[in-house]
Structure 1
Amino acid sequence: MATSTWQNATTEIHSGYSPAGPHRPMTVPIYNSAAFEFPDYATAAELFSLKKAGFTYSRTGNPTVSVLEARAAALEGGIGALATATGQAAVAVSLLALLQGPNHLVASNKLYGGTVDLLTDTFADFGVTVTFVDPEDPANWAAAITAKTRGFLLESVSNPLVTLVDLRAITDVARAAGIPVVVDNTLATPAAYRPIDFGADIVVHSATKALAGHGSVLGGLIVDAGTFDFSDPARWPQIAAPKARYYGDSLLERYGPNAYLMLARSKFLHDLGPTLTAASASAILTGIETLSLRVAKAQANVLDLVAALDAHPAVARVHHPSLPGHQDHELAHRDFPAGTGCVFSFDLHDASAVPQVVDSVELFALAANIGDARSLIVHPAAMTHCRLSDAQLAAAGISAGTLRVSVGLEDSADLIADLTGALDALTQETTSPTRESVGV
């Protein structure tokens, strides 16, 4: 199927699957099987030695999951993809395949809190060192490179402040130094932005979020552009050097541009087991079919809410690049014409009012997710980014009064009325006369 000529909406519905078999089902079947029977001994031996493509055991591959992988690769413009049980697993596996031994990673200081936990705690246990930089200046990335650097990690749209980056400038720095760039594209989604078009080598997603779109399943995806040069065995021994696990072959010799994904699948998915189930893959595929429509609707709602909150006296600042005063306003116009996704944040003048606001709204659920059809609200400092130090929170631009909103598909007028109603109560309290002032 020639997906390269299709627009997003078509790819979301058709890529990776054609009805087949005696019944020709229109939707992708759920292959709810742990194992797969082999026609003969020779085929089994070839499949287990990774000399022939096929399905052996659903921990490392499943027909339903395979369709999701093909569709994700087509949407992002990559050569292939690997699905995982969660978005966190996708980030971890994508980096583990690069960071063999006590190597070094340069990462944005504006990352989701769970990713920061992974980098500063678990990866530190493995001997990996991380330098966090302000992602908006490419010179920061260049200055942080060491002889041990084996990757850059950033978000195309940061969580929760919707900070953007000049990705082409960053990937130019990385390319000159021979460093692969991993971009988390969860917030933007490929319906609005494709990091590979701007030079990224690897794209990761929490498919739990907007790709699935309904908050009912977990999943992650790793998409490989297939363009990075892993041919130096001294620098990339896990890919370019011979390995006993592959009977003395190197993955690069066997699989060429697919070597990175094969390492992620055959070693980390196989050994660690963060496998996406067939049922979850099916649910994510169903969500992807309406991705472009949902992204457009959520973006329209975001713009309405941002405008309403930007004018509200209880709000100190709204973090969204659609606003003319935002530092990334021009970059958003240039590189994100379809928008930046369903998330924005705002700061209250009075941080102590956070509990009152989140407990007062009715349509915005207090829930730690994004990309749901329902609108959600969280307090990053106490929830999603609660383990960051004060210095890390400050570097990320998160204050005690910051609230993150994931805007759903409800009517924007209802969302505005709900949220501004909760904020109106704050301003009424601060402007109401005291009992003493009216002589009571």
Structure 2
Amino acid sequence: MTDAPSYGFDTLQIHAGARPDPATGARQTPIYQTTSYVFRDADHAAALFNLQEVGYIYSRLTNPTVAVLQERLATLEGGVGAVCCSSGHAAQILALFPLMAPGCNVVASTRLYGGTVTQFSQTIKRFGWSATFVDTDDLDAVRDAIDENTRAVFCESIANPGGYVTDIRALADVADAAGVPLIVDNTTATPYLCNPIAQGAALVVHSTTKYLTGNGTVTGGAVIDSGNFDWSASDKFPSLSAPEPAYHGLKFHETFGSLAFTFHGIAIGLRDLGMTMNPQAAHYTLMGIETLSLRMQRHCDNAIKVASWLEQDDRVDYVTYAGLPSSPYYERALACYPKGTSGLFTFAVKGGYEACIKLVDALDIFSHVANLGDTRSLIIHSASTTHRQLTPEQQEAAGAGPNVVRISIGIEDPDDLIADLDQALTKACG
């Protein structure tokens, strides 16, 4: 596309990054199911391996189908580049990998997906990294948590499972003042509802498995680079600012400028960590993104209708949907997420843990699965599943207490969803 920034979101979600196939004229992006690519000659091969020329070497690093998805995501998020990988969890490690070193830490929100809390509190310790968890609504607490070894601040734009909305601009200002990047997981909001880079985020991560693909078929992840962070402003990020031994002393930031993080993510991250997205997964995700705005608006419209009904039901203690006027995040949501606050939220069932289990088992339309962002409506009892490994205190902080269920509202008829919840609540609380 030419002059892509002048096009609207609905156009870009279909066309960004995609061009007719030069060999066949195919309009849809082909699935380039190949491991490797023929070099023109020995000099061409050497230039590619030396990062002197951009091209395709081996599909662990780059693939034409995946490249279209990377360009589309970068365009929709307002970034300069993107790196796609095998899952959202892989994207988080890929985002941290160039920033961290043994002894370094990341300051992370307490309101994160349970698997992310486990990854940050347990798994990254094996790399010698650590995480400090704070309530990101308390900006003073965030400032106090940042120390000389902090290399990033991490949050979710709309938090899973509770649907809490983050004031990204305020958090970005704190991170900027400390000289560290803000990383925002934009999975639940998607670029249709929220643009973290425009609000000051340095990096955006996604589980493309969720709303971007939208149909529960493939896993995937992505890291989008804003191109705005100065990796050479201090000595905190030597992987990007200092000579790289594997490339004869090349300095990524000096050589590639605003694309330093993107090039490092491919040339070092994918090369050595091998978290590759396969081309068929990229193809499914590209097809999903073509209808992203249509689906997200329906998710939001359905969610507010279902959440409003639940809030009035005597069998429900509370609902966390930020789109409700009763939510403490309602004014923030109107200001920061004017199109809506996605389709994800929780509600507390009177009767506690046992009632939640009965509710989940009694539903017909809702699917009991460990996923979100599907066209289908989904439900899960987080305390016994996705957040099971956390302590009770961590579960409560994440909005996943024993009396709480998480629902991901799909694009079905909302009246049918309400009827399904009604009959299931009767069985659970009767």
User: For the superposition of Structure 1 and Structure 2, which TM-score range results when normalised by the shorter chain?
Assistant: over 0.9
Contact 1:161 1:344 in 2 (8 A): yes
| 2:29 counterpart residue number | 28
| Gaps in structure 2 of 5+ consecutive residues | none
Alpha-carbon offset, residue 208 of structure 1 = 0.4
Contact 1:119 1:130 in 2 (8 A): yes
Alpha-carbon offset, residue 125 of structure 1 = 1.7
| 1:7 counterpart residue number | 8
For residues 2 and 100 of structure 1, the distance between their equivalents in structure 2, rounded to whole angstroms, comes to 40
| 1:142 counterpart residue number | 143
For residues 326 and 343 of structure 2, the distance between their equivalents in structure 1, rounded to whole angstroms, comes to 20
| 1:420 counterpart residue number | 422
Q: Which structure 2 residues correspond to residues 89-128 of structure 1 after superposition, within 5 A? A: 89-128=90-129
For residues 3 and 327 of structure 1, the distance between their equivalents in structure 2, rounded to whole angstroms, comes to 38
> Partner of 2:193: helix, strand, or coil?
coil
For residues 64 and 285 of structure 1, the distance between their equivalents in structure 2, rounded to whole angstroms, comes to 9
In structure 1, what residue type is equivalent to 2:38? E
For residues 151 and 322 of structure 1, the distance between their equivalents in structure 2, rounded to whole angstroms, comes to 29
In structure 1, what residue type is equivalent to 2:412? E
Q: 1:41 to 1:426 in 2, by over 3 A?
A: closer
> Partner of 1:338: helix, strand, or coil?
coil
Contact 2:356 2:428 in 1 (8 A): no
| 1:339 counterpart residue number | 340
> Partner of 1:205: helix, strand, or coil?
strand
| 2:358 counterpart residue number | 356
Deviation per CA, 1:413-438: give whole Å up to 9, x if none. 111100111113345x2xxxxxxxxx
For residues 303 and 232 of structure 1, the distance between their equivalents in structure 2, rounded to whole angstroms, comes to 44
For residues 82 and 294 of structure 1, the distance between their equivalents in structure 2, rounded to whole angstroms, comes to 24
| 1:326 counterpart residue number | 327
| 2:389 counterpart residue number | 387
Higher mean C-alpha displacement, 18-27 vs 320-329: 18-27
Contact 1:17 1:67 in 2 (8 A): yes
Contact 1:233 1:241 in 2 (8 A): no
Deviation per CA, 1:103-136: give whole Å up to 9, x if none. 0110000100111111111111222121100011
| 2:253 counterpart residue number | 252
| 1:66 counterpart residue number | 67
Find out whether 1:406 has 2:411 as its counterpart.
no
Contact 2:208 2:220 in 1 (8 A): yes
Please, what TM-score do these two structures have when normalized by structure 2? Answer: 0.98
Find out whether 1:243 has 2:244 as its counterpart.
yes
Contact 2:362 2:427 in 1 (8 A): no
> Partner of 1:213: helix, strand, or coil?
coil
Q: Which structure 2 residues correspond to residues 193-342 of structure 1 after superposition, within 5 A? A: 193-232=194-233, 234-342=235-343
Identity across aligned pairs (percent)? 40
| Gaps in structure 1 of 5+ consecutive residues | 430-440
Contact 1:100 1:238 in 2 (8 A): no
In structure 1, what residue type is equivalent to 2:337? F
In structure 1, what residue type is equivalent to 2:243? P
> Partner of 2:384: helix, strand, or coil?
coil
Please, what TM-score do these two structures have when normalized by structure 1? Answer: 0.95
Alpha-carbon offset, residue 354 of structure 1 = 1.2
| 1:54 counterpart residue number | 55
For residues 250 and 164 of structure 1, the distance between their equivalents in structure 2, rounded to whole angstroms, comes to 37
Alpha-carbon offset, residue 156 of structure 1 = 0.3
Alpha-carbon offset, residue 20 of structure 1 = 3.8
Higher mean C-alpha displacement, 328-337 vs 12-21: 12-21
Contact 1:314 1:426 in 2 (8 A): no
In structure 2, what residue type is equivalent to 1:416? I
In structure 2, what residue type is equivalent to 1:149? T
Moved over 4 A (4+): none
Alpha-carbon offset, residue 5 of structure 1 = 1.4
In structure 1, what residue type is equivalent to 2:159? S
For residues 397 and 45 of structure 1, the distance between their equivalents in structure 2, rounded to whole angstroms, comes to 52
| 2:87 counterpart residue number | 86
For residues 195 and 233 of structure 1, the distance between their equivalents in structure 2, rounded to whole angstroms, comes to 24
Find out whether 1:157 has 2:175 as its counterpart.
no
Find out whether 1:169 has 2:170 as its counterpart.
yes
For residues 390 and 335 of structure 1, the distance between their equivalents in structure 2, rounded to whole angstroms, comes to 31
Alpha-carbon offset, residue 323 of structure 1 = 1.7
For residues 80 and 407 of structure 1, the distance between their equivalents in structure 2, rounded to whole angstroms, comes to 31
Alpha-carbon offset, residue 233 of structure 1 = 6.0
Alpha-carbon offset, residue 395 of structure 1 = 1.9
Alpha-carbon offset, residue 45 of structure 1 = 0.8
For residues 362 and 5 of structure 1, the distance between their equivalents in structure 2, rounded to whole angstroms, comes to 45
Alpha-carbon offset, residue 250 of structure 1 = 0.8
Contact 2:201 2:226 in 1 (8 A): yes
Of the two, which has the highest radius of gyration? 1
In structure 2, what residue type is equivalent to 1:381? A
Alpha-carbon offset, residue 137 of structure 1 = 2.0
For residues 326 and 395 of structure 1, the distance between their equivalents in structure 2, rounded to whole angstroms, comes to 17
